């Protein structure tokens, strides 16, 4: 196989990524763990070459920029000024650097080869690199659990953004390379770009120009404009996303860019495995430092718990952040260029990150199960009252619950309100969405329906029906698991199902009616058309002649 041929290059790494991702999924791990393994396989088998490495590096860079752009589309600037976000990020980073650097120096004094020659400056550089949490891993984990817009998800993302900003500042100052003088024009340029990008998005139809606009905003308006004034291109991609966060079509843009981002990020995880070949010393060092991710998690939990958030929020956010980061590799490269660390430490950082992903992935997959098992202990951690994320103590006699108030849930609520003479209550864990709907006089409350406390402690005796109106399957599965554990289920549960196999899984979980909109859109289309103009089709009584089929099976 001629690996200088781009066709064979792509066939090689895509095949390895697909097989490894599939195997990881089959054993209950996220595919990203398989992609990491794929990178190491390419490395160990000497299949990589300069062309393959450069191709994957470029795609990995694209993936990271698209990731930051899509984060920006969901991130409001004011959220970064919350004390639980910037306070936790800065306190945690300072504490982690002190603890890890101290440990590294202690390990050096007991004669371990990798640690023996470390200076204080080198230890501080390595500990700083290991203090970051992975933006890529956390976002992928939250998305897989359907918790990207949850309260704890937003806190975790906010902390990551503060870390990323600190990394950018470090890169600027460590390279002793000041931005161009043109940087003073950047505020004006950003203001102009905000106007232009919003106008351009208004002009887009719903076709292929939407993702092309997304790439333009990410790489030209964002990354290129920041690079030209000497700032990190990744930061420009993030800022461009934030400029569009209030646009009416931001959800459509986010959905269209999501799959592109997911694809290019495969190359990021493959690329981690290509950084260097490990030896016994680097593997041992990485394994010695691996348990520190639990120390990081406990620190996050302890610090977050001092702020006005519930213990469960602190726990879920902390668990998401318990890993090492790709930014650690970027920081490590700078330390390498400054002569503070040697090549083997770059390999150790890559191994540590890979091992942390492999360990943290299953823990995050079972985060709700772990919480339920150790809830009595977690709930003793400095519980606050009257916080935004506190489980409601009452649903005030509601008879119908609509859980999830997005593009599906809000029309569900409106339709029920119009046609059903029952007391309807909407629930969502997106605080911005709840505040907006409350200002419009909707009967809605903040609540995380995946929280066992809600189903265990709230009086649900008046509830006759529950509508699961979120699109992601993971959230619906978690909710049904909690319902089955803590209630007698005297009410009926209705759910949206995006695919036929998922509909069957929901029925098996106890859902009474699962509706696959894609499967029945043609039937509904014809039915409503006949009801609108029955005389054309010689139908005398469409409400009698057009009977809906039972779609729960």
- The predicted-structure confidence for 477-493, as pLDDT tens digits, reads as follows 889 988 888 766 789 99
Three-state DSSP at 494 gives strand
Statement: residue 547 has pLDDT above 60:
no
Q: How many helices (H) and strands (E) does the chain have?
A: 27, 6
For position 3, what pLDDT does the model report?
A: 60
Statement: residue 546 has pLDDT above 60:
no
Q: Which helix (H) or strand (E) segment is 32 a member of?
A: helix 31-44
- Rounded-to-integer distance, Cα 66 and Cα 402, Å: 33
- Rounded-to-integer distance, Cα 135 and Cα 314, Å: 18
- Rounded-to-integer distance, Cα 477 and Cα 495, Å: 11
Q: In this structure, what is the dihedral angle of CA atoms 301, 303, 308, 310, given to the nearest 10 degrees? A: 10
Query: φ, ψ for residue 493 (rounded to 5)?
Result: -115, 130
∠ CA 302-305-308, nearest 5°, is: 160
Least confident piece of the model among 28-32, 47-51, 390-394: 47-51
Give the tens place of pLDDT for each residue, 417-476.
Answer: 998 899 999 999 888 889 999 999 999 999 999 888 888 888 888 999 999 998 888 889
- Rounded-to-integer distance, Cα 118 and Cα 477, Å: 49
Number of other CB atoms surrounding residue 248 within 10 Å:
9
For position 487, what pLDDT does the model report?
A: 62
For position 81, what pLDDT does the model report?
A: 83
Here the tokens at position 13 are 């790494």
- Rounded-to-integer distance, Cα 209 and Cα 215, Å: 10
- Rounded-to-integer distance, Cα 83 and Cα 316, Å: 18
pTM over 0.85: no
- Rounded-to-integer distance, Cα 411 and Cα 469, Å: 10
Residue 27 buriedness (CB in 10 A; 0-12 / 13-18 / 19+): exposed
For position 432, what pLDDT does the model report?
A: 83
Statement: residue 89 has pLDDT above 90:
yes
Domains of the chain: 6-378 (1.20.1530.20), 400-515 (3.40.50.720)
Q: Which residue has the tokens 């190491």?
A: 40
* 233 and 244 Cβ atoms separated by less than 8 Å: no
Statement: residue 1 has pLDDT above 70:
no
- Rounded-to-integer distance, Cα 440 and Cα 438, Å: 5
Alpha carbons within 13 A on the beta-carbon side of 516: 18
∠ CA 162-157-149, nearest 5°, is: 150
Whose CA is closest to 268, among 13, 512, 544?
Answer: 13
High-pLDDT (> 70) share of the chain, %: 93
- Rounded-to-integer distance, Cα 235 and Cα 173, Å: 16
Q: For residue 465, list its beta bridge partners.
A: 400, 492
Number of other CB atoms surrounding residue 373 within 10 Å:
11
Whole-number Cα distances in Å, 534 to 333, 384, 530: 71, 60, 5
Q: How confident is the model at residue 99 (pLDDT cuts 50, 70, 90)?
A: very high
Statement: residue 294 has pLDDT above 70:
yes
State the average pLDDT over residues 97-117.
88
- Name residues whose C-beta falls within 8 Å of residue 285's C-beta, 6 or more positions apart in sequence: 112, 114, 115, 348
For position 324, what pLDDT does the model report?
A: 92
Higher pLDDT, 173 or 212: 212
Statement: residue 301 has pLDDT above 60:
yes
Least confident piece of the model among 145-154, 241-250, 277-286, 334-343: 334-343
State the average pLDDT over residues 167-190.
76
Q: How confident is the model at residue 344 (pLDDT cuts 50, 70, 90)?
A: confident
* 64 and 326 Cβ atoms separated by less than 8 Å: yes
For position 551, what pLDDT does the model report?
A: 44
Average pLDDT of the residues of the chain: 85
Instruction: State the first-to-last Cα distance of the chain, in angstroms, to the nearest integer.
Output: 50
Alpha carbons within 13 A on the beta-carbon side of 368: 21
Statement: residue 175 has pLDDT above 60:
no
* 130 and 289 Cβ atoms separated by less than 8 Å: yes
């Amino acid at each position: 196989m001629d690996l200088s041929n781009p066709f064979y290059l792509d066939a090689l790494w895509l095949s390895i990524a697909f097989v490894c991702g599939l195997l990881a999924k089959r054993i209950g791990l996220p595919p990203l763990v398989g992609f990491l393994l794929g990178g190491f396989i390419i490395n160990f088998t000497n299949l990589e070459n300069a062309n393959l490495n450069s191709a994957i590096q470029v795609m990995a860079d694209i993936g990271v920029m698209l990731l930051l752009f899509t984060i920006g589309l969901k991130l409001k600037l004011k959220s970064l000024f919350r004390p639980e976000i910037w306070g936790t990020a800065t306190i945690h980073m300072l504490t982690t650097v002190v603890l890890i650097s101290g440990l590294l120096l202690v390990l050096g004094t007991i004669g371990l080869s990798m640690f023996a020659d470390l200076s204080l400056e080198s230890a501080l550089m390595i500990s700083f690199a290991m203090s970051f949490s992975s933006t890529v891993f956390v976002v992928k984990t939250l998305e897989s659990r359907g918790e990207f817009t949850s309260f704890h998800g937003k806190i975790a993302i906010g902390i990551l953004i503060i870390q990323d900003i600190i990394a950018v500042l470090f890169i600027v100052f460590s390279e002793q390379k000041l931005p161009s003088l043109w940087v003073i024009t950047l505020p004006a340029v950003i203001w102009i770009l905000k106007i232009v990008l919003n106008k351009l998005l208004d002009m887009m139809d719903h076709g292929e120009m939407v993702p092309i606009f997304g790439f333009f905003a990410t790489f030209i308006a964002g990354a290129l404009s920041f690079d030209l004034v000497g700032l990190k291109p990744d930061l420009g991609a993030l800022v461009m996303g934030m400029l569009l966060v209030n646009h009416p079509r931001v959800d459509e843009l986010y959905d269209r860019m999501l799959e592109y981002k997911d694809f290019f990020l495969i190359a990021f995880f493959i690329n981690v495995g290509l950084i260097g070949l490990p030896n016994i010393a680097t593997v041992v060092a990485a394994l010695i430092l691996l348990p520190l991710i639990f120390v990081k998690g406990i620190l996050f939990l302890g610090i977050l718990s001092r702020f006005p958030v519930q213990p469960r929020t602190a726990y879920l956010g902390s668990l998401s952040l318990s890993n090492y980061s790709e930014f650690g590799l970027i920081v490590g490269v700078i330390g390498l260029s400054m002569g503070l660390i040697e090549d083997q430490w770059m390999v150790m950082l890559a191994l540590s990150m890979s091992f942390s992903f492999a360990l943290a992935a299953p823990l995050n997959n079972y985060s709700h199960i772990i919480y339920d098992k150790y809830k009595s202990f977690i709930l003793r951690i400095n519980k606050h009252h009257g916080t935004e994320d506190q489980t409601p103590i009452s649903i005030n006699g509601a008879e119908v619950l609509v859980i999830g108030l997005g593009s599906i849930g809000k029309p569900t609520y409106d339709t029920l309100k119009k046609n059903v003479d029952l007391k309807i209550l909407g629930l969502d864990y997106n605080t911005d969405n709840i505040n907006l709907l409350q200002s419009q006089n909707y009967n809605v409350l903040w609540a995380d329906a995946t929280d066992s406390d809600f189903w265990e402690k709230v009086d649900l005796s008046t509830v006759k029906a529950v509508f699961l109106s979120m699109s992601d399957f993971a959230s619906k599965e978690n909710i049904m698991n909690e319902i089955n554990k803590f209630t007698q289920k005297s009410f009926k549960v209705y759910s949206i199902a995006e695919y036929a196999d998922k509909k069957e899984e929901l029925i098996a979980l106890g859902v009474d009616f699962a509706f696959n909109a894609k499967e029945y859109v043609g039937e509904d289309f014809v039915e409503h058309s006949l009801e609108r103009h029955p005389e054309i089709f010689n139908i005398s009584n469409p409400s009698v002649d057009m009977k809906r089929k039972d779609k729960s099976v």
